[in-house]
Structure 1
């Protein structure tokens, strides 16, 4: 499975919901902590995600989390982003820190349950894709009664073939087209879907002989 840089970052900022308790990490006193979804899975890996914003400089936030994590802790820098990582038993903690455009600092915090990640490797997708498709990303989240999922895939089929085949997969879930495409030309199609259980949007883009599809579903949980 091909993985983008953004996907790799998300993998590094995942918090797994597993049987063993999650390690805790102390945040800076002035920090604003935002939990991103109650439950999230990326490529089948269960996780929570948190964004932390602080008015302090990135180097100060780096010093804070280095001290909060304690030793041993690994530190790497990729462009303007500092990444701290630490293993605690079956868990892997990652803090990714960078400066924001308004001069503040932002961190993405994760705690990954490594046994759960290994178990997710061979999970069934549970969704029919067009033949020959390569799944680039599979992101799921739960917020209250709404379950959201985004699939990103690529194949050699035409825009119309992808639309027809993915429409059939959505029909299996009770979702039908809202009407004609919201947008359509030789290079892209955008189609909305709805049904008793929720809604979906499919974005198809054709470039250099291949089609990339981004399918986003929002389903009401019973």
Structure 2
């Protein structure tokens, strides 16, 4: 099984978002099954990203793996772990492995680091839930005409975080006004003046009894990009 898709290299946080594209590439119609376990290199440091993560409504298990071994050795390890039915693509210096396994879709992005170590970003997505995620309600009012690029939710102990990334054609102030109204409905209000305020960028913090939020707005070439991060404490 081979693949010819190509992705640009991106910083670590953006590579997490890029993983949301892979569950849509290969889906399985097999019966429900337990989450598969992915064996990482023995000498690696494992950094789970959230206890419970949903990316665009899809339940995922994501981990960052750092190994002192060369990239070729780490690549060989995951190829052996995943077996024969795995797609392998190159993107710059990175290798991307992808595999459909039962109700799940597994991806591993392996990248050499400047210090000689190797980073592997692993993701296991629930394909069955992905087929049901398209009709889920967003539960948040966005400015009219907005396109939602990503919706990532994570649970870490008592804390729940959610990040929405969207674009639209509205001005910065209109976005601020409408998104502030949506946050006010959740009990979150501006925490002082904007942290940054210019013709092409605006950053506003919010707070309240239910938690806190930060809104980053950037405008260029007639388009506004909005990144809204919400943090709340579970009861």
Q: 2-side partners of 1:113 and 1:9: how far apart?
A: 12
Counterpart pick for 1:142 among 142, 150, 155: 155
1:119 is the counterpart of 2:132: yes
1:8 is the counterpart of 2:18: yes
TM-score, with structure 2 as normaliser: 0.86
Partner of 2:99: 86
Partner of 2:209: 196
Structure 2 runs not aligned, ≥5 long: 1-7, 24-31
Q: 1-side partners of 2:56 and 2:42: how far apart?
A: 34
Give the CA RMSD over aligned residues: 1.7
Q: 2-side partners of 1:158 and 1:86: how far apart?
A: 42
Offset of residue 95 of structure 1: 1.5
**What do residues 49-106 of structure 1 show as CA deviations (whole Å, max 9, x unaligned)?**
1011111100001111111222222222121111222222222222111101111111
User: Is the CA contact (8 Å cut-off) linking 1:12 and 1:110 kept in structure 2?
Assistant: no
Offset of residue 11 of structure 1: 4.5
**Which stretch has the larger CA shift, 20-29 or 95-104?**
20-29
Offset of residue 141 of structure 1: 0.7
**What do residues 11-32 of structure 1 show as CA deviations (whole Å, max 9, x unaligned)?**
549xxxxx73111122111111
Partner of 1:16: none
User: Is the CA contact (8 Å cut-off) linking 2:33 and 2:102 kept in structure 1?
Assistant: no
In the TM superposition, structure 1's runs of 4+ consecutive aligned residues that sit over 4 Å from their partners are: 10-13
Offset of residue 158 of structure 1: 1.4
SS across alignment from 1:34: strand
TM-score, with structure 1 as normaliser: 0.90
- The correspondence of residues 1-222 of structure 1 with structure 2, limited to 5 A, is 6=14, 7-12=17-22, 20-222=33-235
User: Is the CA contact (8 Å cut-off) linking 2:214 and 2:229 kept in structure 1?
Assistant: yes
Aligned residue pair count? 214
